[in-house]
Copies of this chain bind each other. A is one copy, B any other.
Amino acid sequence: MHRTKIKIAEDALDANTTIAQANRADFDRADVRVVNMMSAPGAGKTSLLERVLNDLHDVRVAVLEGDVQGSLDADRLASLHVPVTQINTDPGFGGECHLDANMVRSAIPSLPLADIDLLVIENVGNLVCPAEFKVGEDLRVMVASVTEGEDKPLKYPLMFRTCEVVLVNKIDLLPYVDFDLEKCAERARSVRRGVEILALSAKTGEGFAAWHEWLRR
Contact = CB atoms under 8 A, between A and B. Distances in A.
Nearest to A173: B176
A157 interface: yes
Contact of A70 (B96, B155, B177): B155
Interface of A: 2, 5-6, 9-10, 13, 40-42, 67-70, 72-73, 91-97, 124-129, 131-132, 145, 147-149, 151-152, 154-158, 170, 172-173, 176-178, 203
A70 B152 CA distance: 11
A125 B148 CA distance: 11
A69 B124 CA distance: 21
A59 to B, nearest CB: 27
A68 B147 contact: no
30 contacts: A2-B91, A5-B91, A6-B91, A6-B93, A13-B93, A40-B40, A40-B42, A41-B127, A41-B152, A41-B156, A67-B155, A68-B157, A69-B155, A70-B155, A72-B151, A72-B154, A93-B132, A94-B129, A94-B131, A95-B158, A96-B128, A97-B97, A124-B128, A125-B127, A125-B156, A126-B128, A173-B173, A173-B176, A173-B177, A178-B203
A149 B42 contact: yes
A72 to B, nearest CB: 5
Contacts of A72: 151, 154-155
- How many copies the complex holds: the figure is 2
A72 B157 CA distance: 13
Contacts of A172: 176
A106 to B, nearest CB: 10
A41 B147 contact: no
Nearest to A157: B69
A148 to B, nearest CB: 3
Contacts of A148: 41-42
Contacts of A13: 93
Nearest to A145: B147
